[in-house]
Amino acid sequence: MKKVTFHTLGCKLNFSETSEIGRLFTEKGFITVTLAQRPHIFVLNTCSVTENADHKCAKIVREALKIAPKAFIIVIGCYAQLKPEEIAAIPGVDAVFGTHEKFKLLDWITDWNKKRSDESATIQVISIKEKLAFSPAYSLGDRTRTFLKVQDGCSYCCSFCTIPLARGASRSATIAEVVTQVQTIVRNNVKEIVLTGVNLGDFGIIDQKRQTNFFELIQALDKVDGIKRFRISSIEPNLLRKEIIDFVAVSKYFVPHFHMPLQSGTNKILKLMQRRYTTTLYQERVAYLKEKIPSCCIGIDVLVGFPSETEEDFLETYHFLNELPIAYIHVFPYSERAHTKAAYMDQVVPQRERVKRARMLRILSEKKLRHFYSQHLGHTATVLFEYGADDGVIEGFTENYIRVQLPYQPGLANRLCKVLLKKINSEGIVIPELLKM
């Protein structure tokens, strides 16, 4: 039997797709192993959101070949879609599959013998301009939570982003298909499902037509028996409608955690980024969230060092974030991406300045998170503990995404436990006391 190893870069959506592809290999009789077990096949699912993600690809291929020099190397995903010839030129790569073809790679490849150094890698990539079908996917078995892909692609055209170029236009599963997948996942003793997509709030475009929407999806999912938690991975502020917030506030299963990308706290930069909201709309969404669900956790994405972002613009973003009642910030220094409008803009911000601004926001994020945690000390919560334990401790997350840690106890993993949030340790993690359910 052939042994296969998978490595995933990037977002939760990529993890769900890698898991789906892994099941296709299992159905064909392949055995999934770790890299240390020297697989016959190594599949790398790539990301291309930043230049650093691109660079990781060649590095990981080199590292894999050091351990398993005879492994058949397959590179798939967003980077593969955007730059297949560049990847095919990496020494040791045997096959490159794009966004659409990666789910069919077992149909294309029948000879798993590694190519000679004078042979070219196989490339299977079609244009994202073609009508692409929605390919369902969900992760299973590698962590407590399951990432369920319900939407793919993006029809927005943010000036800095390659995702529409890598994944094509927005498209979704039907509500009935999502419900069926949730029922399958529940049978595998999963307690929490994270809904994922490229532009999740745009759910509902099927066969290139708007047939439903995200609000109708979550209403349907809240009626599915057996699941304990649904978590919304990320949703654009202009698509997080008040009716969605109102629904989550009274939902049986949707937890009070929202990740809402901001990217910049100044309208000047938001306009250059071609984002579809203003700082006023964003501020209103945050205020409405806190009004309806005071305990909710709000996470933010911010991009610093965008072309023409002055020091004054950055400080405006910093102060805007400082005033918002948010819990954490995911910070990304701007990275030039080929074929995007931003790559050709003037007034480029020096790399050292991008790094400095990113560092300042990460420090602010740490302060915000500690403040959010401290607001909930003395409160009770329900924690879903994760599989695995490091250094004799086990960790988990509350409904509103507070990270907790306890000394390892057998039987806690994948259990929902009532706890009292007592204190914050030196690493910024909350230490709880277990309570009886």
DSSP 175-214: HHHHHHHHHHHHTTT--EEEEE-SSGGGTTEETTEE---H
d(CA 34, CA 425): 33
Q: DSSP states of 342-410 as a string?
A: GGG-SSPPPHHHHHHHHHHHHHHHHHHHHHHHHHTTT-EEEEEEPS--BTTEEEEEETT--EEEEE--T
pLDDT of residue 71 exceeding 90: yes
- Under 8 Å between Cβ of 19 and 138: yes
Q: What is the pLDDT of residue 343?
A: 94
Q: What is the pLDDT of residue 387?
A: 82
The pTM for the full model equals 0.94
- Residue ranges and CATH numbers for the domains of the chain are 3-124 (3.40.50.12160), 136-255 (3.30.750.210), 260-375 (3.30.750.200), 380-434 (2.40.50)
d(CA 347, CA 334): 13
Sort 407 into a burial class: Cβ within 10 Å, 0-12 / 13-18 / 19+: exposed
CA 190: distance to chain centroid?
19
pLDDT of residue 53 exceeding 80: no
SS3 category, 113: coil
SS3 category, 10: coil
Work out the pLDDT band at 142, boundaries 50, 70, 90.
Answer: low
Work out the pLDDT band at 437, boundaries 50, 70, 90.
Answer: low
